[in-house]
Amino acid sequence: MTRDDALALDATDPLAPLRDQFALPPGTIYLDGNSLGVLPKTTAARVAEVVTGEWGTGLIVSWNRAGWITLPQRVGDKIARLVGAAPGELVAADSTSVNLYKVLAAALDIVRADAPQRRRILSERSNFPTDLYIAEALAAERGFELVLLDTPEAIPAALDESAAVLMLTHVNYRSGRMHDMAALTRAAHAAGALTIWDLAHSAGAVPLDLNAAGADFAIGCGYKYLNGGPGAPAFVWAHARHVERFRQPLAGWMGHAAPFEFTPGYRPAAGIARYLCGTPAILALAALECGVDSVLAAEPLGGLAALRAKSLALTRLFADEVRARCPQLRLVSPETEAERGSQVCLAPRDEPALAYAVVQALIARGVVGDFRAPDILRFGFTPLYLRHVDAFDAAVQLAEVLASGEWRRPEFNQRQAVT
């Protein structure tokens, strides 16, 4: 592969026009859309309209007139199209952590009613920590046991008569390894367990079909591949067979059947609305809607299937070039493409401290990836706005940082608050 080969791929890429939706900073190759998606060009004007027009001028009447009160549902219906959910099945609200608390509580409610002898919540030790922390706390409060498996291969054997819930992140945040949602959901159900899928690194990046998989619950993040902005609201979905079996622990008024009757007793709303809690974050939801729209713009061009094909082409290109140019690094992400999310993770073969510093040196060159403790160099490939030549150039720059030794400079070795 030469740089001209990469440029030739871009010239015939049917998804190439989608890049123009984004306000990409000049001189930057942004490989961190799996941490914070880039800014869609529509967002600034839309947020300004919400601030100045809907809030500033419309004030309180915007709850009705601007449709604020149903914004969690409106944005939720759009996200539903990206994850294989039906309209009315998904809402955008709160954070991923808070939403996990809701769905895990819902799943434990169901287990408590239907199979009280099942006491184990299964997950992976390598799952994103916030998921494990939430599960650890809720398991302790409700008398369940959180069991952490060391490898994905250990999951089937752990699905026994003690298993209550299988709680997995679909694409691992560090390794980029992707689970087979349909197969694992079948295995869990065959064993009598429920499934919770965290789609933080999947929604907007890989094709998903929650209903076809028969998944039980799902949550996901608004600020990664959905381009919703820093700390954007997250989302929550429950399968129709479960959605109304849920006694909301975070029983805020927005999940009430009639919040504006102001009655002292809680009566849950029908359907997914009962998973809402407090007053919706309107500015943040408006920004998230622009981000989701930027992904939906791919629908006429083949949607997530086309995005997935391009994502695999990008990760393949980058991994191949790194393999050829960077003998100091090994590939952590799966070689098998069916198991790879939209990211490539690398680790030093010999010198673990290299990982953090190389990422900083690359950022200084305008190639933005991130470091994940203890020794992972993580590069996300968002096919909406990345080109083949970006993947090629990033590999070349990575090789140069390693070969030149510039990563050894002190300024690239000082840890910051957020890594």
Confirm whether residue 96 is marked as ligand binding.
yes
Q: Which of positions 44-83 make contact with a second copy (CB under 8 A)?
A: 44, 47-48, 51-52, 54-57, 59-64, 68-70
Q: Give CA–CA dist 237/359, Å, rounded.
A: 35
| CA 1 to chain centroid | 31
Nearer to a second copy, 185 or 360 (CB): 360
- Check binding of 283 to a second copy (CB under 8 A): yes
Q: What is the DSSP string of 110-145?
A: HHHHH-TT--EEEEETTS-HHHHHHHHHHHHHHT-E
Q: Give CA–CA dist 84/93, Å, rounded.
A: 19
CB of 94 to a second copy, least distance (A): 7
- Check binding of 261 to a second copy (CB under 8 A): yes
Q: Classify strands 367-368 and 163-169 as parallel, antiparallel or unpaired.
A: unpaired
Whether 310 sits among the annotated catalytic residues: the reply is no
* Six-digit token string for 178: 């992707």
- Check binding of 231 to a second copy (CB under 8 A): yes
Phi then psi dihedrals of residue 265, to 5 deg: -100, 140
- Check binding of 96 to a second copy (CB under 8 A): yes
- Check binding of 332 to a second copy (CB under 8 A): no
- Check binding of 352 to a second copy (CB under 8 A): no
- Check binding of 230 to a second copy (CB under 8 A): yes
Confirm whether residue 279 is marked as ligand binding.
yes
Whether 102 sits among the annotated catalytic residues: the reply is no
- Check binding of 108 to a second copy (CB under 8 A): no
Binding span for a second copy by CB under 8 A among 13-21, 280-288, 295-303, 314-322: 280-288
- Is 82 buried (19+), middle (13-18) or exposed (0-12) by CB count in 10 A? buried
Nearest to 224 by CA among 179, 276, 285, 291: 291
Nearer to a second copy, 61 or 86 (CB): 61
- Check binding of 113 to a second copy (CB under 8 A): no
Q: Could you say which of 144, 173, 217, 223 is catalytic?
A: 223
Nearer to a second copy, 155 or 282 (CB): 282
- Check binding of 355 to a second copy (CB under 8 A): no
Cα separation values, 305 from 51, 121, 221, 357, Å: 36, 32, 20, 35
Cα separation values, 141 from 125, 146, 260, Å: 20, 12, 32
Q: Which of positions 128-187 make contact with a second copy (CB under 8 A)?
A: 128-130, 132-134, 136-138, 141, 148, 174
- Check binding of 244 to a second copy (CB under 8 A): no
- Check binding of 232 to a second copy (CB under 8 A): yes
Nearer to a second copy, 42 or 162 (CB): 42
Whether 379 sits among the annotated catalytic residues: the reply is no
Q: Classify strands 145-149 and 370-372 as parallel, antiparallel or unpaired.
A: unpaired
Q: Which of positions 190-229 make contact with a second copy (CB under 8 A)?
A: 223, 229
- Check binding of 233 to a second copy (CB under 8 A): yes
Q: Could you say which of 224, 308, 310, 387 is catalytic?
A: 224
Nearer to a second copy, 6 or 277 (CB): 277
Cα separation values, 199 from 1, 126, 152, 173, 404, Å: 33, 15, 17, 10, 38
Confirm whether residue 253 is marked as ligand binding.
yes
Q: Give CA–CA dist 325/121, Å, rounded.
A: 43
CB of 146 to a second copy, least distance (A): 10
Whether 223 sits among the annotated catalytic residues: the reply is yes
Q: Give CA–CA dist 44/42, Å, rounded.
A: 6
Q: In 256-327, at which residue ranges do the beta strands (DSSP E only) sit?
A: none
Nearest to 181 by CA among 160, 159, 196, 164: 196
Whether 378 sits among the annotated catalytic residues: the reply is yes
Q: Tell me if residue 195 falls in helix, strand or coil.
A: strand
Q: Could you say which of 77, 94, 198, 216 is catalytic?
A: 198
CB of 54 to a second copy, least distance (A): 8
**What b/e readout covers 296-323, taking b as 16+ CB neighbours within 10 angstroms?**
ebbeeeebbebbbebbbbbbbbbbebbe
- Check binding of 101 to a second copy (CB under 8 A): yes
Residues marked as catalytic: 128, 198, 223-224, 378
Binding residues: 96-97, 128-131, 169, 198, 201, 223, 253, 279
Binding residues for pyridoxal 5'-phosphate: 96-97, 128-131, 169, 198, 201, 223, 253, 279
